[in-house]
Amino acid sequence: MREPVLSYKDIRVSFATEFGDVDAVKGVSFDVMPGEVVAVVGESGSGKSVTSSTAMGLLPENATVHGEVLLEGRSVLNMSTAERRRLRGADISMVFQEPMTALNPVLRVSDQLIEALQVHDVAFGAEALERSIELLERVGIPDARTRIRQYPHQFSGGQRQRIVIAMAIACGPKVIIADEPTTALDVTVQAEILDLLRELKEELNTGILLITHNMGVVADMADRVVVMLNGEVVETGPVTKILSHPEHPYTRRLLAAMPLLRAAGDPSLEPERVSVTERADASADGLAPNGTTNGFSGDGAAGAASVAPPALQAKDVALEYKFRRRATRVVHDLNFTVQPGEIMGLVGESGSGKSTVAKAVLGLLDVAEGELRVRGMNMPALPSKERKTLKREIGVVFQDPAASLDPRFPIGDIITEPMVVHKEGDKNSRMARARELLDAVRLPSSVLNRYPHELSGGQRQRISIARALTLNPTLLIADEPTSALDVSVQAAVLDLFSELQQHYGFACLFVSHDLAVVDALAHKVMVMQNGRTVEQGTTDQVLRHAKESYTQQLLAAAPVPDPEVQARRRTERQRLLAALA
């Protein structure tokens, strides 16, 4: 029987706050064997990060820890501060979520790596530099010898995370604690980082404690899984068992909530999804918008009787950001059409320009070139008064529900704000509308007098959606509306979203990096890369019969929560990448 390299025994953590003690972790025990990946899974507030930090001794001062953490049989909690400091980095090291903040921006990468080696007496001077270069080569930084002299901001997000990993393995640790190591990264980069961690683990026989909320990552990496809920372990076991035959209802619920990309021939697929207004755009790829000549009727309501203009149409749009009078063009030659009642998913990785497009449609960014028509009217060219009227037709839901609601407004005022801005209705009719909308997003009307900070993330996002719908918009812009939410909350919000869309029949531009979410909602999909359209068409065409290699890469990189399927997808992806190279 092997000895566990790291073991947690009945860990209890409580935080002293001004409202009394809060128990964050209530008796958690599990082991990590050498060369094993143990995934700790749970939603926010489950105590997964707090539990693992006890091994590093990095908890804030108001925390009290009970129980025992053993690192190769030595109790970490009984060590002196100095002993524990020697332990960090040498025997246990950490990989954080956000690689930019985990590296010091004013120090060269070489200095930071050499420091890690010197602090633990591994190597000094020129030898340390040589070792650092080897480490960078090991984690796959090309041209390591010259690039080691650069600063963190000169590397891409994925490369930065590789550097953080290089620092973590610098002293040959027995355990690496990886706290959401890929959450801040794009899906293709995530797949690469996971590949790297897997290789390193096999090579160095290090135990990895992987903290994540993504079941796909779990399926890809983990040997064993610990599922946590409210500071307690609800289920633990080998990854195949937990993901294929979960016993605890919470685990089942988590898995069920995870949106899935459906493969071609999935029985749940409808033959052909049709947009709500039954006016499925005949030209399926949307590149050739039909009948745009009647676009400038100037009167949307009267024109609606015959052929309604598209809810949103972009013609050769180019967008740029200006900084000190120098314009940087970030979106080029954009063409798309969203018909009334249709959801178009806009997919891409960070830097693809997808959020910029959303901003431009909202009128928050000037259009540099081309036409952006909302209900047939070219919005950027309208005089400001008409533009304001047209903005009534557009609702918006942002990514972060905590930031998108004014903390000083009660919920009722937040929801009715669009009516106040557009001087519509009186106090009573506004409140009636707010109640109606709260009902539509399934929140009790008692929240009218509450403030955003009293609600949970999912509830706040429902409020955002309610506010977006206040004026009955014909077009809704949703910019990553669920990516800040836990999966189970995300599932509920997406369900609600599609229900509301059926009911109110608005058209929607749904910006997301998550292909599975888009697959679940959208009628049409457009894939963007570096400010250009890569591929567009119906959801089925793009996500199941992708023509472009970039789309195929994106699809292949998204992990699925089934270890066997994921292993198969991994080899497929590697084959695809090899074929491209």
Partner 1 sequence: MSETHRPEARGEPIDSTITPAGESTKKVEEASLLADAWRSLRKNPWFIISAVLLVLFLGMAIFPQLFTNTDPRECLLGRSRQSPSAEHWFGTDVQGCDYYSRVIHGARNSIAVGFIVAIGTFIIAVVLGLVAGYFGSWVDAVISRITDMVFAVPYILGALVFLNVLESRGVREVAFVLIIFMWPTMTRLMRGSVISVVNSEFVLAARALGAGPITIMRRHILPNSLGPVIGYATVFTGIIIGAEATLTFLGVGLQLPAISWGLQLSDAQPFLQTVPHLLLFPVIFVGLTVFAFMTMGDAIRDALDPKSKK
The interface with partner 1 within residues 282-321 (CB under 8 A) comprises: none
426 binds partner 1 (CB under 8 A): no
422 binds partner 1 (CB under 8 A): yes
Side-chain-side CA neighbours of 508 within 13 Å: the count stands at: 29
For residue 570, what are the CA distances in angstroms to 36, 140, 194? 19, 19, 11
- Interaction residues for partner 1, span 447-476 (CB under 8 A): 447, 449-459, 464, 467
Return the range that interacts with partner 1 (CB under 8 A); candidates 73-81, 127-135, 341-349, 491-499: 491-499
- Please say which residue, 2 or 423, places its beta carbon nearer to partner 1: 423
CB of 1 to partner 1, least distance (A): 38
- Please say which residue, 52 or 470, places its beta carbon nearer to partner 1: 470
- Please say which residue, 331 or 521, places its beta carbon nearer to partner 1: 521
SS3 content of the chain, % helix, strand, coil (to 5): 40, 25, 35
Tokens of 447: 């929240």
378 binds partner 1 (CB under 8 A): no
CB of 469 to partner 1, least distance (A): 12
381 binds partner 1 (CB under 8 A): no
When binding is defined by CB under 8 A, the residue of 13, 135, 200, 492 that contacts partner 1 is 492
> Among all chains, which residue has been given the structure tokens 């890929």?
182
When binding is defined by CB under 8 A, the residue of 134, 272, 299, 406 that contacts partner 1 is 406
547 binds partner 1 (CB under 8 A): no
Number of residues that bind partner 1 (CB under 8 A): 72
From the list 486, 487, 544, 495, the residue with the least C-alpha distance to 515 is 544
* Rounded-to-integer distance, Cα 502 and Cα 202, Å: 50
Is 67 in contact with 9 (CB distance < 8 Å)? yes
503 binds partner 1 (CB under 8 A): no
Return the range that interacts with partner 1 (CB under 8 A); candidates 183-191, 274-282, 392-400, 548-556: 392-400
CA 541 to chain centroid, in Å, comes to: 24
Return the range that interacts with partner 1 (CB under 8 A); candidates 183-191, 281-289, 333-341, 399-407: 399-407
109 binds partner 1 (CB under 8 A): no
Q: Torsion over CA of 372, 374, 380 and 381, rounded to 10 degrees?
A: 100
When binding is defined by CB under 8 A, the residue of 85, 153, 388, 575 that contacts partner 1 is 388
531 binds partner 1 (CB under 8 A): no
3-state secondary structure of 207: strand
* Rounded-to-integer distance, Cα 484 and Cα 399, Å: 6
429 Rama sector, left if φ>0, alpha if ψ -120 to 50, beta otherwise: alpha
Q: Torsion over CA of 472, 476, 480 and 484, rounded to 10 degrees?
A: 0
When binding is defined by CB under 8 A, the residue of 364, 381, 432, 567 that contacts partner 1 is 364
* Rounded-to-integer distance, Cα 520 and Cα 20, Å: 43
CB of 26 to partner 1, least distance (A): 19
When binding is defined by CB under 8 A, the residue of 257, 338, 522, 525 that contacts partner 1 is 257
List strands edge to edge, sheet with 475-479: 394-397, 475-479, 507-512, 343-348, 524-529, 532-538
> Among all chains, which residue has been given the structure tokens 């995934």?
39
565 binds partner 1 (CB under 8 A): no
- Please say which residue, 431 or 576, places its beta carbon nearer to partner 1: 431
Q: 259-294 in b/e burial notation, b at 16+ Cβ within 10 A?
A: bbbbeeeeeeeeeeeebbeeeebeeeebeebeebee
Run of H or E residues at 10: strand 6-17
When binding is defined by CB under 8 A, the residue of 230, 277, 488, 541 that contacts partner 1 is 488
What's the residue count for the chain?
581
427 binds partner 1 (CB under 8 A): no
- Interaction residues for partner 1, span 14-33 (CB under 8 A): 17-19
CB of 126 to partner 1, least distance (A): 46
Return the range that interacts with partner 1 (CB under 8 A); candidates 200-208, 262-270, 372-380, 531-539: 262-270
